[in-house]
Amino acid sequence: MAEIKKVGVIGAGVMGAGIAAHITNAGVPVVLLDIVPEGAENRDALAEDAVKKLLKADPAAFMHKRNAKLITTGNIEDHLDRVADCDWIIEAVIEKVEAKHAIYGKIDAVRKPGSIVSSNTSTIPLAVLCEGMPGGFARDFLITHFFNPPRYMRLLELVAGEKTRADAVQAVRRFADVALGKGVVECKDTPGFIANRIGIYWLQCGVLEAMEAGLTVEEADLVCGRPMGIPKTGVFGLLDLVGLDLMPHVLGSLAGALPETDAFHAVRREPELIRKMIADGYTGRKGKGGFYRLDTSSGKRVKEAIDLETGAYHPAQKPRLDSVEAARKGGLRALMEHPDKGGRYAWRVMARTLGYAAHLAPEIAGDIVAVDEAMRLGFNWKSGPFQLIDQLGAAWFAEKLKTDGLPVPDLLETVGAGTFYRTDEGRPQHLTFDGGYADVRRATGVLLLSDVKLRSQPLARNASASLWDIGDGVVCLEFHTKMNALDLGTLAMVGKAVDIVADGYQALVIYNEGSNFSAGANLGLMLFAANLAAWPMIEDMLVRGQDAYKALKYAPFPVVGAPAGMALGGGCEILLHCDAVQAHAEFYVGLVETGVGVVPAWGGCKEMLVRWSASPLRPRGFMPPVIKVFETVGTATVARSAPEARDLLYLAADDGITMNRDRLLADAKARALDLVDGYTPPEPPEISLPGPAARVALTMVLYGLRKLGKATPHDEVVAKVLAGVLSGDGTDVTESLTEDDLLALERRAFMELVRHPATIARIEHMLDTGKPLRN
């Protein structure tokens, strides 16, 4: 199987440029070409401007800005020969068959033998794209449909033709999975493939049913959001994000390709309101606004929503529906059975969507797992269509479809009173199209904790955390509180983990499959204690955290952290005490305690001082490490990717990065086992700090920021206390501070700040809004 070492992307629009950027995130060089703009002095302007936009994008397209240097720009007329040495060439031009055929001919004339060519088309079947192309081209050709934005949307739909060689499919699948972190779903060669075929139908149903039922956009998004396990953008918020002006093109493409009997045609309507919005420039977030907009005419940012009947905007409301309340307690079925307008709307939209998915599945996919995976990864649904039907009960769903006069798909007749998914002897299985069951396949190198749980019991468990045997003498410590916030139960399980692993296992991995590794210490518990003036309780929690993290650091076995998503505050600190970290590439980490008016006190300041003092990158002297940690911690700097975390020393130079989250646990386990032979715990550090002079210097920096209006009064209070910790308080460079000395400084500083009324206000505001208060 050929290795993909260089990639060409033809088309530097939003998708092509985004694909190019994400390929550089894997460390692979890219050639990015586009047409020559008419009358342009700079013939490479489109590709060059695309890279400039990528560097300014928010959210960032590059995991590190230096990755932009891996892109070579040019134009198709002058530089097509630059793709001659590319192993994979991706076409991402306009969705017109004629334009694609024209570029394929040019690519085929310059590409090297055995190179792979693919299209990023979102709707056009492969058979149509290959019409009239030479046999050699067809053997090297497939569809690779990325979702936007390519860095963040995990789905890659892969379509191979009858003539596509198997090793080309395998090479792209492997590269997309391991190097790009994609969930690769193989689709049959049908219009819209899987995710768009179902997702566009769902969006259309959501819009039309809301208009017909008289729901507001806020009510519709409330129902078609979190109660269904769908992002809170719901239907109308998602259309704003995608762009209303894109929808007519997608609808037209699908309508032209699908047979007249397809249920899609019944919902292929463009309401007059949407036509007018597009004509007036209200195309969503990229335009003047969409179904929602931000009104700044009053000097404030006021979120507004459109009235679906009149087209007028009004301040967005936070509706309350009894059906949504019922769903919080009773789940999806309680939502759909509820008689209010939200319940009726939920049923009308999802009855049609889930029925459509069940009807289409054998036509568009190899199994139901592919359908569910496509909707989870492509539209960020928490559960795919067949998983949702299982939540409802397949027999209940089929009976209700009959009662409402809606068609019952054959698959629902096949499953009967059973379920689409089941567990058999600890193995997850799915219903096949012929009515049997088959094991859910995992790619080689994938280890999921959810699978481990199906076949085993925890070694230990409390309400906050659990320990699991993941094989080969390795134990996994899993957090499972809300947001994986760390509390006394978590800390107790850390201590139990040290005891259990030391008594018969080889290594420990800290990992979970939540959206975030850990949002840090439980602020609610902290606020409760502060409001009671239970200061000894808070100090006890600090001591327990410090002791637990030291126990990990000096355990007689290797400890590997395996974070994904956010690792903030105490979640960052636990990683700083691990022997090694194997991080998911989408890793957002930082010591953010100053944002709520305190300082890191579970060893974060200590560990960052030790890291920066030992860094070969720092200038000589005692002050540079202190200044660097003061800047990072004092501004609550958060790395927005694993490569950025390495720059900030939240990750060490030899820590690993995994692109595909499904591979993270296996990679972390392998890293832990690599450390076992000859393992010895680290030596306790001693460090010299510059003392009072450094504290004064750091405080002067903050004073300047205060005068410029970039720091608040309480920022200055917190910074002075932080400066005391980092400078060593009353010590000087002739003295060595032990680890316990530094921990004592952290505790004292924390306890001083947590008593401050402004800190209490910040904690309350964070818990109420999820946002920091600048006071």
pLDDT tens by residue, 603-660: 999 999 999 998 887 777 778 899 999 999 999 999 999 999 999 999 999 999 999 9
Return the half-sphere exposure (C-beta side, CA atoms, 13 A cut-off) of residue 652: 17
Residue 771 confidence class, pLDDT cut points 50, 70, 90: confident
CA dist 508 and 511 (Å) reads: 10
Cβ atoms within 10 Å, residue 38: 5
Tell me the two tokens of residue 171. 């090479």
Per-residue pLDDT, averaged over 4-14, amounts to 97
Confidence (pLDDT) at 1: 58
Specify the residue for token string 């911690």: 633
From the list 115, 145, 114, the residue with the least C-alpha distance to 129 is: 145
Whether 668 has a pLDDT exceeding 80, the answer reads: yes
Phi, psi of 661 (to 5 degrees): -60, -30
Distance of CA 542 to the CA centre of its chain: 31
Average pLDDT, the chain: 95
Of the two residues 431 and 620, the one the predictor is more confident about is: 431
Q: How far, CA to CA in Å, does 546 sit from each of 149, 543, 565, 600, 607? A: 40, 5, 24, 11, 12
Per-residue pLDDT, averaged over 202-223, amounts to 97
759 and 599 Cβ atoms separated by less than 8 Å: no
Question: Which residues touch 757 (CB under 8 Å, ≥6 apart)?
Answer: none
Render pLDDT for 268-286 as a digit per residue (tens, 0 to 9): 999 999 999 999 999 999 8
Confidence (pLDDT) at 697: 83
From the list 14, 18, 115, 15, the residue with the least C-alpha distance to 71 is: 18
CA dist 61 and 35 (Å) reads: 22
- The torsion of the CA quartet 727, 732, 734, 736, rounded to 10 degrees, works out to -50
72 and 82 Cβ atoms separated by less than 8 Å: yes
624 and 614 Cβ atoms separated by less than 8 Å: no
487 and 522 Cβ atoms separated by less than 8 Å: yes
Tell me the two tokens of residue 125. 């079947």
DSSP 510-541: E---SSSSB--B-HHHHHHHHHTT-HHHHHHH
Tell me the two tokens of residue 54. 């990528």
Per-residue pLDDT, averaged over 539-545, amounts to 96
Per-residue pLDDT, averaged over 65-91, amounts to 97
Share of the chain above pLDDT 70, in %: 99
393 and 416 Cβ atoms separated by less than 8 Å: no
Render pLDDT for 437-489 as a digit per residue (tens, 0 to 9): 999 999 999 999 999 999 999 999 999 999 999 999 999 999 999 999 999 99
From the list 447, 455, 443, 457, the residue with the least C-alpha distance to 671 is: 447
The structure's pTM equals 0.95
Per-residue pLDDT, averaged over 593-609, amounts to 96
Complete edge-to-edge strand list for the sheet that includes strand 292-295: 292-295, 302-306, 313-315
Cβ atoms within 10 Å, residue 363: 10
CA dist 184 and 739 (Å) reads: 47
188 and 160 Cβ atoms separated by less than 8 Å: no
Whether 774 has a pLDDT exceeding 90, the answer reads: no
* Secondary structure of 93-140 in HEC code, one letter for each residue: CCCCHHHHHHHHHHHHHHCCCCCEEEECCCCCCHHHHCCCCCHHHHHC
